[in-house]
Amino acid sequence: HSYHGDPPSLQLLKNNLQFAPFSSALEAGFWHQLTQKKLNDYRLDESPKSIKGFYYNGDPVGLPTRLTLEFSAFEVDGPTPVRCCPAIGTLYNMNTLDAFKTTDKKAMLEKEAKEIWDVIQSGAALSDPSILCRFILLTFADLKKYHFYYWFCFPALCFQEGIKMIKEPILIEHIVALQEAYDDLCVKKETTAVPYFLLKYNEDSVQMADLKDWDTFFSEAKKVSVGVYDPCTLSQHPGWPLRNLLLLIAHRWGSKLEVLEVLCFRDRTLQGSRSIHHSVMLQLKLPALTPNSACPKSVGWEKNSKGAMGPRMVNLSECMDPKRLAESSVDLNLKLMRWRLVPSLDLDRVISTKCLLLGAGTLGCNVARTLMGWGVRHITFVDNAKISYSNPVRQPLYEFEDCLGGGKSKATAAVDRLTKIFPGVNAEGYNMSIPMPGHPVNFSEATQAQAQRDVQQLERLISEHDVVFLLMDTRESRWLPTVISASKRKLVINAALGFDTFVVMRHGLKKSPVNDCVSGDSSTSCSSSASSCASTPAGPAPSAPGSSLFSNIPGHKLGCYFCNDVVAPGDSTRDRTLDQQCTVSRPGLAMIAGALAVEMMVSILQHSEGGYAVASSSDDRMNEPPTSLGLVPHQIRGFLARFDNVLPASLAFDKCTACSPIVLDHYEREGFQFLSKVFNSSHSFLEDLTGLTLLHQETQAAEV
C-alpha cells in the first residue's frame, strides 16, 4: 500500500489538480423568504447580511456540486440539515437592477478573500475550519414581476502556481475503519458532518482528529493525511471546499510537508445502505507559500447557465402558487409605503380591521374596492337589492351578466366579485332589509317577527365588526345602524351623495359606559370590544366644558348623521320622483366619496386615540397633522363643481333622534320593543321622546 509505506518519489503528474466548483442551488423558499425580508426588514437597506447555505457529500453521480440555500438561509444560527455542512454567506441585496449590475464584483470578492486569509493567518480557521467555506450572494429582487437576479461567488484563494498531483486520484480502502472513525469523530463533536479533519492509519484502524490537533496528532511532518467532507461526485476531482484548506495547510505546515494525502470523503446511501466507497484519495505536493505573504489571488464568481461570467435570473411568477403570489403581491404595494414614505404606518391595524358595509350600491362597491386596495381582508355586505341594468357602469363590482334573470342579489354578487379579484379575501354577504322608522313592520305577526330577526342579525353583525360603513341611499335606513353602533361603541363612517356634493363623516364615538365594565362578569369582553377602533383615550379627553363649539371637538363629543336634523327620519321613498329615487349624481362623485370614506377610516385608525381623536378642521390644514397620514376630520363635505372640500366639525345634539342619551337608553333597556315603536310610528314618536317637539313649540312661540 504505497500511501502508508515509504514516501513516494516526488515524480509529479503533469496536470494540475482541478476542483469542481460549486453550483448554486436556490430553493423557491429562499426567494420567498428573501421577499419577506426585503419587504419587512431590509426595505431600502443594501448593507451586507449574513446568510447560511449548506452542502452534502452524498449526492449520486451526475449531480453538480451544489451549495443549497433554502427557506432557512436567513437563520444563520439555526440548525444545518442533518449530514450537511454549513457554508456561511454574505448577502448583498441591491435596490435596483442598475445597482446590481454596476456593483464592483472584484472588490467584493477581494474583501471576502481577505477575510479568509485573515482567519488563516490568525489561526481562527484552525479552531473552526468551517469558516473557510464561504460564499457571497449578490441579488436584485424585482418583486413586481417575481424576477430574481442573482450572482453567486465561492471565494477560493489560489496558489500562484497550480497544485501538482503525485499520482492519479484513487479509490479508498479500509472502508469500514474509515467509516467508523468518521462516525466517532461526529459523535465526539456532537454533529452529523465534519467539514475538515485529520486522519492516520494504525494497522487496520483509522484515527481522526480535529484540524487544530495537527501538531500533536501527527508524529512526522513530511507526509500527513487530511480529510475533507467532499460534495463533489466526480471520480477524478475534489470539490471546492478543499481549496482554502490547502492554503491553510500550506501556510501553516507547508514548509516541512512533502506529501499531503487528502481523503475526499463522500458518504452516500444507495438503495437503503450506506456507502463511502466512492470517496477519493489524492496525493498532493503543495506549492510553497512565502511566510507573511500578502493575501493570495482569489477566484469564485459563478458562471451563468450559458457558461459565461454573468448573473442568473429566475422567474418565479409562474411556479409559485398563484393565490399565495396574489396575497404577497397585494401586501407588497402596502409595505412599500413604509419603506420611505410613512415608516410609522401601522399596516396591521388597517389590514386586520373588520368592516361592515351597509349598502352594496355605488358607494358600497367603491368603498369595498378601496378597502381591498388597503389590504383589508374582512368585508361584509348588507343589501336587499338586486342588480339592475343601470348598475354595472357605476357600481364597480357588477357586470352585465349579473343583471340577467331579474338580477342577482347585490350582497352575494359583491362577495363573489371580491373573491374573483382577490381569492384571499374573507367576504360575506347578507341579502336582508334594515327596518326603518316610519316604515311599519306590524302588518302581521310574520312581518313583526321578520323585523325582529333583521334587527337581531344587524346587532350581531355590528358586534362582530370594527367599523360600520353607512352607504345606503335613504336617510331613514341609516337610523337603526346609527343607534346600534352608538350603543356598541363602534366607529361609524357615513357617506352620502347629492348631485355634485357629498358628505363623508365619522360619527361621534360615545365613551364606553364605565359601570358596564366594572359590574357584570364580562369585563374582559367589554374592554376587548372597545379595543380595536374605539380605543379609549390614553390621557384624559380634552373636553373642558365651554371649549369652542367648532374646533378641537374630541371624538366622543362629535355629532352623528342625525345630529343636525330637527325632524326624525321617516319614509322618504314614498313620494319621490325617479330622479330623487335613484341617487342622481355625477358619476365620479361616488368614486371620490367612497375613496375618501376609506382613507378617512385609515387615517383615524392610525391615530392613537382612534375614533376618540379630536376632529381636524379646515383650519388644521396648515398645522402639524395628528397622524402619519394626515388629518382626522369629523366631516369632509365635497363640492365637485368647485373641486373643493371643506372639513366642518360639529357637536353631538342632546335631542338627536339617533344618538342622544335618551334614545340609546330606551334602546338598551327595551330593545326591539322600543325599535318597533319607532318603525311603526310617525315622526312624532321620536320627536316627542327626544324633546324635539317641545323645542319646535318653543321656537314657534318665540317667533310669534
Q: Which of 337, 432, 541, 651 binds its own copies (CB under 8 A)?
A: 337
Please, which residue, 191 or 645, has the CB nearer to its own copies?
A: 645
Amino acid at 320: M
Half-sphere exposure of 495 (CA within 13 A, CB side): 29
336 binds its own copies (CB under 8 A): yes
Least CB distance to its own copies at residue 54 (A): 29
Provide the mask over 600-619, with x wherever binding to its own copies is found by CB under 8 A and - wherever it is not. Answer: x-x-----------------
- Dihedral over Cα of 656, 659, 661, 663: its sign: positive
The position carrying cell 448583498 is: 92
Least CB distance to its own copies at residue 602 (A): 8
Please, which residue, 28 or 662, has the CB nearer to its own copies?
A: 28
Task: Please give the C-alpha separations between residue 684 and each of 140, 389, 563, 690, 695, in angstroms, as whole numbers.
Answer: 69, 38, 16, 10, 12
Tell me which residues in 119-178 interact with its own copies (CB under 8 A). Answer: 142-145
Amino acid at 206: V
* Span of 92-100, 176-184, 228-236, 457-465 interacting with its own copies by CB under 8 A: 92-100
Strand partners, 210: none
* CA dist., res. 226 & res. 250, Å (int): 13
Please, which residue, 260 or 372, has the CB nearer to its own copies?
A: 372
**Coil, helix or strand for 567?**
coil
**Active-site residue among 295, 319, 582, 656?**
582
Least CB distance to its own copies at residue 422 (A): 5
595 binds its own copies (CB under 8 A): yes
Least CB distance to its own copies at residue 419 (A): 8
* Span of 93-101, 117-125, 210-218, 289-297 interacting with its own copies by CB under 8 A: 93-101
**Coil, helix or strand for 282?**
strand
696 binds its own copies (CB under 8 A): no
- DSSP letters along 76-110, please? TTSPPPTTEEEEEEEEEEESSHHHHHHS-HHHHHH
Provide the mask over 295-334, with x wherever binding to its own copies is found by CB under 8 A and - wherever it is not. Answer: ----------------------xx---xx-xx-xxx-xx-
Contacts with its own copies by CB under 8 A: the residue count is 91
Amino acid at 150: Y
The position carrying cell 360600520 is: 468
Tell me which residues in 95-124 interact with its own copies (CB under 8 A). Answer: 95-96, 98-99
Please, which residue, 282 or 350, has the CB nearer to its own copies?
A: 350
* CA dist., res. 86 & res. 76, Å (int): 9
Provide the mask over 618-647, with x wherever binding to its own copies is found by CB under 8 A and - wherever it is not. Answer: ---x---x---xxx-x--x---xxxxxx-x
Least CB distance to its own copies at residue 643 (A): 5
Answer for the pair 441, 679: CB distance below 8 angstroms, yes or no: yes
Q: Which of 86, 594, 610, 611 binds its own copies (CB under 8 A)?
A: 594
Tell me which residues in 388-427 interact with its own copies (CB under 8 A). Answer: 388-390, 392-394, 396, 398-401, 403-407, 420-423
Tell me which residues in 668-687 interact with its own copies (CB under 8 A). Answer: none
Please count the residues of the chain: 704
Please, which residue, 68 or 583, has the CB nearer to its own copies?
A: 583
Answer for the pair 433, 477: CB distance below 8 angstroms, yes or no: no
**Which run of H or E residues covers position 221?**
none
Please, which residue, 335 or 511, has the CB nearer to its own copies?
A: 335
* CA dist., res. 349 & res. 609, Å (int): 13
Answer for the pair 533, 491: CB distance below 8 angstroms, yes or no: yes
292 C-beta neighbours (distance < 10 Å), count? 7
Least CB distance to its own copies at residue 548 (A): 21
Q: Enter the C-alpha cell of residue 575.
A: 313620494
Please, which residue, 322 or 661, has the CB nearer to its own copies?
A: 322
DSSP state at residue 72: G
* Span of 221-229, 269-277, 339-347, 528-536 interacting with its own copies by CB under 8 A: 339-347
Please, which residue, 44 or 701, has the CB nearer to its own copies?
A: 44
* CA dist., res. 636 & res. 615, Å (int): 11
* Span of 91-99, 171-179, 489-497, 537-545 interacting with its own copies by CB under 8 A: 91-99
**Coil, helix or strand for 559?**
coil
**Which run of H or E residues covers position 141?**
strand 134-142
Please, which residue, 65 or 583, has the CB nearer to its own copies?
A: 583
Please, which residue, 277 or 349, has the CB nearer to its own copies?
A: 349
Please, which residue, 380 or 616, has the CB nearer to its own copies?
A: 616
> Is residue 556 packed enough to be buried (19+ CB in 10 Å), middle (13-18) or exposed (0-12)?
buried
Tell me which residues in 517-576 interact with its own copies (CB under 8 A). Answer: 574-576
DSSP state at residue 243: H
Q: Enter the C-alpha cell of residue 698.
A: 318653543
* CA dist., res. 42 & res. 53, Å (int): 20
Please, which residue, 234 or 600, has the CB nearer to its own copies?
A: 600
* Span of 273-281, 362-370, 438-446, 487-495 interacting with its own copies by CB under 8 A: 362-370
**Coil, helix or strand for 392?**
coil
Least CB distance to its own copies at residue 507 (A): 18
Answer for the pair 354, 467: CB distance below 8 angstroms, yes or no: yes
Least CB distance to its own copies at residue 468 (A): 19
Cα–Cα nearest to 494, from 649, 359, 659: 359
Amino acid at 222: K
Tell me which residues in 230-289 interact with its own copies (CB under 8 A). Answer: none
Q: Enter the C-alpha cell of residue 80.
A: 444545518
Tell me which residues in 465-504 interact with its own copies (CB under 8 A). Answer: 499-500
Tell me which residues in 363-382 interact with its own copies (CB under 8 A). Answer: 366, 369-370, 372-375
Tell me which residues in 3-42 interact with its own copies (CB under 8 A). Answer: none
* CA dist., res. 268 & res. 64, Å (int): 15
Cα–Cα nearest to 648, from 607, 616, 602: 616
* CA dist., res. 328 & res. 382, Å (int): 29
Please, which residue, 222 or 576, has the CB nearer to its own copies?
A: 576
Least CB distance to its own copies at residue 80 (A): 32
Least CB distance to its own copies at residue 394 (A): 5
Least CB distance to its own copies at residue 175 (A): 52
Q: Enter the C-alpha cell of residue 126.
A: 484552525
Least CB distance to its own copies at residue 504 (A): 9
* CA dist., res. 575 & res. 579, Å (int): 11
Q: Which of 596, 604, 649, 678 binds its own copies (CB under 8 A)?
A: 596
Tell me which residues in 572-591 interact with its own copies (CB under 8 A). Answer: 574-579, 581-582, 584, 586-589, 591
Least CB distance to its own copies at residue 633 (A): 6
The answer to whether residue 582 is catalytic is: yes
Task: Please give the C-alpha separations between residue 124 and each of 19, 132, 666, in angstroms, as whole numbers.
Answer: 24, 10, 79
Q: Enter the C-alpha cell of residue 235.
A: 471520480
φ, ψ for residue 247 (rounded to 5)? -65, -45
Q: Enter the C-alpha cell of residue 66.
A: 451544489
Answer for the pair 636, 673: CB distance below 8 angstroms, yes or no: no
Q: Which residues are catalytic?
A: 582
